[in-house]
Each structure stands twice: as C-alpha cells, then as structure tokens.
Amino acid sequence: MIVGSRYAKALIDLAVENKQLDETRTDMQTVKQVCDQNHEFVVLLNSPVVKTDKKTEILNSIFSGKISKLTLSFLNLLATKRREAYIPEIATAFDEQFKSKKNITTAIITTATGLDAKLKTRVLEIVKQNVGASEVELIEKVDASILGGFVLSIADKQLDQSVKRNLNDLKKNLLSNKYIPSNN
C-alpha cells in the first residue's frame, strides 16, 4: 500500500501543478472501475510474461480517448518503469488522498427500501453538520434483511438504528433476564 500511496501522491501533485485535479480524479475512478470489473486486465498487469511495450499498447488501447493525456502518460510511465502492477492500488490511494485534500467525507447509509430525494438531502445535511466536512459523498445501499430503519457508516464509526438490530437486542435482553416469578 505504501508504493501505491507514494505514486498517488506524485500524481496528485502533478495534477495540481497542471490544474487538472478534478479531471484526474475522474480518470483514476475510470481506471479503478476497469480494474475492479476486469480481473483479466489486473492479471495481465501483474504478468511478468507480457512485455512492457505490449502492456503500454494495451493501456493505450483501453484508455486512449477515455482519460486525459496527463493520466494516460502517467499510466504509460508506470508501465515503462515496470510498476504497472500497482495501478489498481494507486487508483484507490489516489481517491483516498483526493478526498482528504478536498475535505470530502464518505458516508454509507444502508436502508431496507432506499431513500427518497428529501430524506437523502436531510441525511447529507446531518452528516455535514456532525462531521464538519465541506462535502459528503453519500453511498446508498439497500438491504431488505435489516427490516427497517438504517445503518449509517462514516469512516470507522457506525450508527445502527435498524429494526433487525433492535429485535436482536430485545431478544438478548429477554434471554438474559434473571427474573424468576415466585409461587405465592
């Protein structure tokens, strides 16, 4: 993770210098998405059998026209320096460092049925107020197994107000109750 973090920092510095930070973030999200969705591509990047010039040719054919010249040049440089195996790690580290630089907090809310627009806006406001972030990136997940309520995760904190959790707590409480009725 250290290698990916260092290369991500270098790319952030380069993007800031060229006034392309937001564009480069979008590019790296595209790269991460390609890596996440194509296991064969990641295997190819890690393969010592495939020659560097073939890897740069593949990188260019996949990303040319889809990402900026700056980002594509960076990916080609990684391949030339035989660091292409770190591309997925660099893409992840780049997004984390970008969020830190821009004071963006990621919040994940899980509900049983999904949020409507009004409720989503309200959740964003509450998270912004309590976290003190300039921007909140809200990821919505739907999980019918929680039955109702919500589970909100921000960084290493979690607030579980789901019906499932409340029922489990009630069950534990009832099972551990030491009250024994008397026979008077």
Q: Has domain 2-100 been given CATH number 1.10.520.20?
A: yes
pLDDT band at 87 (very low <50, low <70, confident <90, very high): very high
Q: How many CA atoms lie within 13 A of 16 on its CB side?
A: 11
pLDDT value of position 180: 63
pLDDT value of position 35: 96
DSSP the chain: -HHHHHHHHHHHHHHHHTT-HHHHHHHHHHHHHHHHH-HHHHHHHH-SSS-HHHHHHHHHHHHBTTB-HHHHHHHHHHHHTT-GGGHHHHHHHHHHHHHHHTTEEEEEEEESS---HHHHHHHHHHHHHHH--SEEEEEEEE-GGG-SSEEEEETTEEEE--HHHHHHHHHHHHHT--------
Q: pLDDT exceeding 70 applies to what percent of the chain?
A: 96
- The overall average pLDDT reported for the chain is 92
Among candidates 118, 111, 112, 94, which has minimal Cα distance to 22?
94
Q: Residue 97 in contact with residue 13, Cβ under 8 Å?
A: no
pLDDT value of position 182: 61
Q: pLDDT exceeding 90 applies to what percent of the chain?
A: 78
Given a cut of 80, whether residue 64 has pLDDT beyond it is: yes
As a whole number, mean pLDDT of residues 46-66 equals 94
pLDDT value of position 184: 56
pLDDT value of position 156: 86
Task: Give pLDDT tens digits for 90-149.
Answer: 999 999 999 999 999 999 999 999 899 999 999 988 888 888 778 899 999 999 999 999
